[in-house]
Amino acid sequence: MHSIAWWPTLAVVVAATVADIRARRIPNWLVIPFLLAGLAGSGITGGWLGFGQSVLGMLLGGVSTGVLYWLGGLGMGDVKLCAAIGAWIGPHQLVTALVLTGIAGGVIAIAEAIRGGFLKQSLSGTTSLLCGFARRGLRPDPRFVLSHPAAKRIPYAPAIAIGTIISFFALP
């Protein structure tokens, strides 16, 4: 486990989860200082190499989730949170965290769809979304963006928290 990153990351993902569940927002006052501290801490403890790994983690987190934001599937708070996590844990662990986050997000979405009684609609929409890329390219489908009035929304910080926390135990 990466001891220097564990406690700050745990504290921030828990706080972000609570904020996202309560207000459907992840506040900048939480994420921005966390990101800057990750960059600074990595530079102090690892020199230029540590700082470079921190920047690469931040960019990987921001770009990979930024694409999902651009497609209308994530909020900007989720993007900033993933970039900040990347600044703390670096690109290698972040890849694992993002894969685990995707799995956790899928499980949460399916559970929410079952609980809300819209599983069939959700699976149909997912199929349309994935198969529609061949027809529309990488443009967002207006029926499946968060801003659509009929969109079913779930807070994604819990999935980010689960994926990130498990990633600390998944890598040697």
Total Cβ atoms within 10 A of residue 123: 12
Total Cβ atoms within 10 A of residue 61: 29
The whole-chain average pLDDT of the chain stands at 88
> Which pLDDT does position 153 carry in this prediction?
76
Query: 72, 131 in Cβ contact below 8 A?
Result: no
* Residue ranges of domains in the chain: 3-170
Query: 20, 26 in Cβ contact below 8 A?
Result: yes
| Helix (H/G/I), strand (E/B), else coil: 109 | helix
Total Cβ atoms within 10 A of residue 39: 18
C-alpha atoms less than 13 angstroms from C-alpha of 43 in its C-beta half-sphere? 8
> Which pLDDT does position 85 carry in this prediction?
98
User: What stretches in the chain show pLDDT beneath 50?
Assistant: 1
Instruction: Supply the DSSP string of 62-77, one letter for each residue.
Output: HHHHHHHHHTTSS-HH
> Which pLDDT does position 73 carry in this prediction?
80
> Which pLDDT does position 130 carry in this prediction?
60
> Which pLDDT does position 1 carry in this prediction?
41
Sign of CA dihedral 73, 99, 165, 48: negative
Give Cβ neighbours of residue 105 (< 8 Å, ≥ 6 apart): 156, 159, 163
